[in-house]
Structure 1
Amino acid sequence: MANKKILILFFHPRFEDSRVNAQLVEGVKQLQNITFRDMYELYPDFNINVEKEQAQLLAHDIIIWQHPFYWYNCPPLMKQWLDLVLEYGWAYGTNGNKLSGKWIMNVISSGGGFNVYQKEGRNRFTHRDFLNSFDQTAHLCQMDYLPPFIIPGANKLSVAEIEDFMIRYTQIVHFLMNEQIDINKLKELENFNQLNADQWEHQFYKMP
């Protein structure tokens, strides 16, 4: 039964120049039970409406941070959002449990491929290693951090390859809506890139 509500918070300061993200966004915006928010469009002056953003978080079951992987991290507006919206006493700390039990994940477009994001590669760490700060943020806020979905070598992808990643992204979002997911098994994945969609039902759905 697919009824979980998903909030996609999209942070891209140069969305008009991103072939990859334009296609990804076009795909997921067509799905039901999705709320899509283009954060740079909403907050070009970085003046974030904290109460509105918190209300959006409360109204959804799963949050997706979609963003380019800038200097092994996120764009500046996303950092501003994290600093302001996830308040002490609301998201974490004393009585800060408003997000407890929600699921959250990163969907990132990366200029470098998987080959350079290895211990032996130029960047010395994996994408997942660099995302540990987001994992810890989720943990502090009592949320479950899901495996990320990564679009590697984004600047060099062909039209057909971008189309494939868009299809995979929509499949992932649709999969996450299902009530029967075994969250503990899912969190054992390094990233969503490891599996094909036809494997999810057999490995990550709870048995009746």
Structure 2
Amino acid sequence: MKTLVIVTHPSIEASVINKRWIEELAKYPEKYTIHELHKAYPDGNIDVAKEQQLVEAHGNLVFQFPIYWFNCPPLLKKWLDEVLAYGWAFGSKGGDNLKNRKVALAVSAGATEENYREEGKYRYTLAQVLAPFEISFLYCSADYRSYFAFYGIEAEPGENEPGAAVETSASKLETNALAYVNFIDSL
């Protein structure tokens, strides 16, 4: 079965990493379904039944998003809250649609990897920041397979204008995009 990649990025056109990942995945339509939540639901109103059917029609599940305030974008949180419902994703009566399904994350972190260390600027690793996702998927009896990350796309606060992007080499982008596909294929 194909892998469903749920992309949540409110400004994908301005993205460097997430957009490049989508471009790479799009080369393999027989392997991946790319589902962009902001394009599917510009008004933020999620069709829960449609989303559940989409998940059921696929094998592995990957959530791709930029780290926002050490969490996911709000639309993905809403998706998780509404789609992973009692009786469908978990519960004593049914609720096994994620059981043993391989689930992973693909995240772009603005800060450098050095900042995501216990001795780093933010004092927490990216694995620690993403722990609520792991716990949620384990709660739904999914087979959580960790995460793929790209670090350091933004300048440090005070170094440039707020939110300014760091220049990323084309070869680094290409290498990372290929590694992303390999990560998904190895789930």
Q: Which amino acid aligns with 1:114?
A: E
Q: After TM superposition, what 4+ stretches of structure 1 lie above 6 angstroms from structure 2?
A: none
1:27 and 2:18 aligned: no
DSSP-derived class of the 1:115 partner: helix
What's the C-alpha RMSD, in Å, of the aligned pairs? 1.1
Question: Equivalent of 2:35, from 34, 37, 40?
Answer: 37
- Where does residue 206 of structure 1 map in the other structure? none
Q: Which amino acid aligns with 1:13?
A: P
CA distance in 2, matches of 1:101, 1:62: 10
- Where does residue 6 of structure 2 map in the other structure? 9
Percent of matched pairs sharing the same residue: 35
- TM-score (structure 1 length as normaliser): 0.80
The structure with the largest helix share of the pair is 1
CA distance in 2, matches of 1:103, 1:131: 16
- Using the TM superposition, give the Cα deviation of residue 60 of structure 1 relative to its aligned residue in structure 2, in angstroms: 1.3
Post-superposition CA distance 1:39-83 (Å, at most 9, x none): 100101111000010001111111000000011110000001011
In the alignment, structure 2 segments of 5+ residues that lack a partner are: 155-165
- Where does residue 150 of structure 2 map in the other structure? 151
DSSP-derived class of the 1:90 partner: coil
Higher relative contact order structure (alpha carbons within 8 Å, sequence separation ≥ 6): 1
CA distance in 2, matches of 1:74, 1:118: 19
Is the Cα contact below 8 Å between 1:118 and 1:126 reproduced in 2? yes
Question: Equivalent of 1:86, from 84, 87, 99?
Answer: 84
- Where does residue 120 of structure 1 map in the other structure? 119
CA distance in 1, matches of 2:69, 2:88: 29
1:76 and 2:74 aligned: yes
Is the Cα contact below 8 Å between 1:28 and 1:173 reproduced in 2? no
- Using the TM superposition, give the Cα deviation of residue 15 of structure 1 relative to its aligned residue in structure 2, in angstroms: 0.6
- TM-score (structure 2 length as normaliser): 0.89
- Where does residue 106 of structure 1 map in the other structure? 105
Between the two proteins, the alignment pairs up a number of residues equal to 173
Is the Cα contact below 8 Å between 1:54 and 1:85 reproduced in 2? yes
Post-superposition CA distance 1:122-160 (Å, at most 9, x none): 111100111110001101111011120000002322222
The residue correspondences of 1:59-208 to structure 2 (distance < 5 A) are 59-95=57-93, 96-155=95-154, 156=166, 157-176=168-187
CA distance in 2, matches of 1:61, 1:37: 14
